Amino acid sequence: MSEALSSNAVLYAILSLNSEIDLQKEYLETPDIPAEDRENEEGILDDLEQAFMEFIDLYKSYRHKDKDLPSIEDLLNSEL
C-alpha cells in the first residue's frame, strides 16, 4: 500500500476488529461449533487478535504525532 492510512481509518479498523474479536470469542464459547471446525475458528480468532495488535501499534504512532487523538483505553471504552 503506497498511501498512508488516515488516523480515522485506523481508529475505525481498531473498533471493528475489537467487535469482531468479541463476537468470535462468544461464538467459541457456544457448543454450536462442530469439532472439526473448532481449530479453524480458533485460528480465525488468532488472526483477528494479531491484526488488532498491529493496528494498535500503528495507532500508537499516530497518537504520538497527534495528541488530540483519544488514548487507546478511551477509544475502546467509547460509544461511537
Mean predicted confidence (pLDDT) in 7-28 = 95
User: First CA to last CA across the chain, in angstroms?
Assistant: 27
pLDDT at 21: 97
| Per-residue confidence (pLDDT) for residue 3, from 0 to 100 | 74
10 contacts 58 by C-beta, under 8 angstroms: yes
Question: 33 CB contacts (<8 Å, ≥6 apart)?
Answer: 27, 41
List, in sequence order, the alpha helices (H) in 1-80: 7-28, 35-65, 72-77
Average pLDDT in the chain: 92
Q: What is the structure's pLDDT at 72?
A: 92
pLDDT (tens digit per residue) in 41-54:
999 999 999 999 99
